[in-house]
Amino acid sequence: MSGSTAIIGSGLIGRAWAIAFARAGWSVRLWDPAAQAAAEAQGLVAALLEDLAANDMLRGQKVEEVLGRISTAPTLSQALDGVDWVQENAPEKLEVKRALWQEMEPLAPAEAVLASSTSAIVPSLFSEELASRARCLTVHPINPPYLVPAVELVPAPWTSSDTLKRAEEVMRAIGQAPIVMRKEIDGFVMNRLQGALLEEAFRLVADGICSAEDVDIGIRDGLALRWSFMGPFETIDLNAPAGVRDYAERYQGLYENLFASMQRRVDWTGPVMEEIETERRQRLPAEQLGDRQRWRDRRLMALLRHRSQAAEEVGE
Amino acid sequence: MSGSTAIIGSGLIGRAWAIAFARAGWSVRLWDPAAQAAAEAQGLVAALLEDLAANDMLRGQKVEEVLGRISTAPTLSQALDGVDWVQENAPEKLEVKRALWQEMEPLAPAEAVLASSTSAIVPSLFSEELASRARCLTVHPINPPYLVPAVELVPAPWTSSDTLKRAEEVMRAIGQAPIVMRKEIDGFVMNRLQGALLEEAFRLVADGICSAEDVDIGIRDGLALRWSFMGPFETIDLNAPAGVRDYAERYQGLYENLFASMQRRVDWTGPVMEEIETERRQRLPAEQLGDRQRWRDRRLMALLRHRSQAAEEVGE
């Protein structure tokens, strides 16, 4: 399946979505309210595509092929003309989103799915007043979606099941791994899971139990090894002889005993941050943050190549 | 650095430790209170070593070389004679551990470090009454330690800093990644982090937000990709332009808003388990659990080979 998509807002997330759709054969139209922004975005996308090609992440295509599918539109209405999908990437301000969606929605073809990339705004808040609100939802990526497969599909109470189904199909078609939520909730799924883990991580450091690096070791050299190819439920399903129920029956007591001591949060920007920041800046001076981000992206690409290969050789 | 270690208790964890130490050049003496258990363990270790060799996990050594460093001892006192390290792997029952440590401690050489593999018992509970309690601690692996590097070093209030330092050196010497805790706490570090994440995962499914598979997607195809080579603190350090403090200042509000809705636990063995178990057994019938565990171990070995290679080619 392929089609055409309008990318509304050509910042970091918009450009990343443009790559994800165009790489999968979709034609992409970029629009941004700032003059020249969409045209500049095309140049930035071209540079990113070179980097992806060098890392074998374009599924065998040439940069020009993918880039050739991405154009810019001078007006919002021209961007939306005839598209199958609209991906909105406006700033994370509710008033901005509301105004934009009010403008966007009547201009988009009746059959198009309208999706917001927002990481923090539940879709009911910007779609309630819209005439065709049943086709509106949040489709939130972990940036950048052309590398990280998981995306959250978050329905408002009025999002139709048909819209959710089409959104799932489109995301699968471009190579993402959709989390199909049944209802909206603050933090969606991934930030809730990340938040729960981070709260405990900050508490452990604040309480003098261990260092921030110790937490990173426990995840990087411990728990996340299996999580990175199975997830936590499959992990516990395989960690007791008779599966997940057996695991819960054997070990719930252990976790239940810890719960009371997790009912308090520490201020992440309070005294604990002095310690964490000192530790991090000793390991990685501020002026090396940019280099380390590029290292992270190369490691991520290498990991993804490994995952494809392992899925083929060992099984998925 | 290498030396000699006594493995007390030759079950699953004891055998795994025997491999971890022997692979690193240590001489290992296995002892188990059950007659024949240690001898049988040697046979099981030999089979595991064949599998590791086939997966290039013996650091270039032959099975016979590694196996040749592992012997059995007929008595506890012979097992402990002259060793540098004692790793106890008795059942997770406090009375059993206490009795064993009372017997073990006076027999071990004065210079030896005494470590328990317990996953759930803080070391003060089994070491308080011992004459040389300053050299006692918990050294808890994620099983199996010959594959998963992270180990938790958990000191009792009376564990000496010298003991903790030696334990850290020994663990590094055999290739583990030690988490050096500053004080004991129930759940240690990794089960606390895992518990925090699992509690939210069970809540999300129980509240009808998403399926267990959706949680697994969010971790496997989302968060754990970066966590598997950076850990959560380095991840957020690189997710805001000016590092970890910048991240906390920008995003703490989002996580703080989620916290109130996380103050309740669902019974993992209650109604939610019907749904999770049904879902898991549809994806993986019970009779395939064993096959899938073998798949997991092969994928884990492939991932570890990838990590070594990526660390070399892209940097660590």
Q: Tell me how far the alpha carbon of residue B74 is from its chain's centroid.
A: 28
> Structure tokens of B151?
């180990």
Contacts of B194 in chain A (CB under 8 A): 223, 232
Q: Is the peptide bond before A144 cis (omega within 30 degrees of 0)?
A: yes
H-helix or E-strand containing A5?
strand A4-8
Which of the four pLDDT bands, split at 50, 70 and 90, describes residue A185?
very high
pLDDT value at B213 more than 90: yes
Which of the four pLDDT bands, split at 50, 70 and 90, describes residue A97?
very high
Structural domains present in chain B: 4-180 (3.40.50.720), 192-283 (1.10.1040.10)
Task: Point out the residue among B142, B223, B313 whose CB comes nearest to the CB of A222.
Answer: B142
Question: Mean pLDDT across the stretch A72-99?
Answer: 97
pLDDT value at B293 more than 90: yes
Angle at A186 between CA A159 and CA A102, to 5 degrees: 45
> Structure tokens of A24?
């999968």
Task: Point out the residue among A218, A265, A304 whose CB comes nearest to the CB of B193.
Answer: A218
> Structure tokens of B140?
């808890």
Instruction: For residue range B134-143, list pLDDT tens digits in order.
Output: 999 999 999 9
Q: How many CA atoms lie within 13 A of A23 on its CB side?
A: 25
Query: Distance between CA atoms of A107 and A80, rounded to whole angstroms?
Result: 7
Instruction: For residue range B45-99, list pLDDT tens digits in order.
Output: 999 999 999 999 999 999 999 999 999 999 999 999 999 999 999 999 999 999 9
Instruction: For residue range B95-130, list pLDDT tens digits in order.
Output: 999 999 999 999 999 999 999 999 999 999 999 999
> What was the pLDDT predicted at B272?
98
Which of the four pLDDT bands, split at 50, 70 and 90, describes residue A92?
very high
pLDDT value at A35 more than 90: no
> What was the pLDDT predicted at B58?
97
Question: Mean pLDDT across the stretch B213-220?
Answer: 98
Mean pLDDT of chain A: 97
CB B252 to CB A267 under 8 A? yes
Instruction: For residue range A270-313, list pLDDT tens digits in order.
Output: 999 999 999 999 999 999 999 999 999 999 999 999 999 999 99
| CB neighbour list of residue B20: distance below 8 Å, 6 or more residues apart | B141, B144, B145, B146, B174, B175, B176
The DSSP 8-state label assigned to residue B287 in this structure reads: G
Instruction: For residue range B142-162, list pLDDT tens digits in order.
Output: 999 999 999 999 999 999 999
Contacts of A187 in chain B (CB under 8 A): 254-255, 257-258
Query: Distance between CA atoms of A194 and A199, rounded to whole angstroms?
Result: 9
Contacts of B221 in chain A (CB under 8 A): 148-150, 177
Q: Which of A152, A220, A254 to mutate to test the interface with B (most CBs of B within 10 A)?
A: A220
CB B242 to CB A284 under 8 A? no
Residue A222: closest C-alpha in chain B: B150
Residue B238: closest C-alpha in chain A: A293
> What was the pLDDT predicted at A224?
98
Query: Distance between CA atoms of B267 and A113, rounded to whole angstroms?
Result: 38
Q: Which of A234, A250, A278, A305 to mutate to test the interface with B (most CBs of B within 10 A)?
A: A234
How many C-beta atoms lie closer than 10 Å to residue A312's C-beta? Answer: 9
Instruction: For residue range B253-290, list pLDDT tens digits in order.
Output: 999 999 999 999 999 999 999 999 999 999 999 999 99
> Structure tokens of B113?
């470090």
- 8 A C-beta contact, residue A145 and residue A26: no
CB A149 to CB B199 under 8 A? no
> What was the pLDDT predicted at A1?
82
pLDDT value at B35 more than 90: no
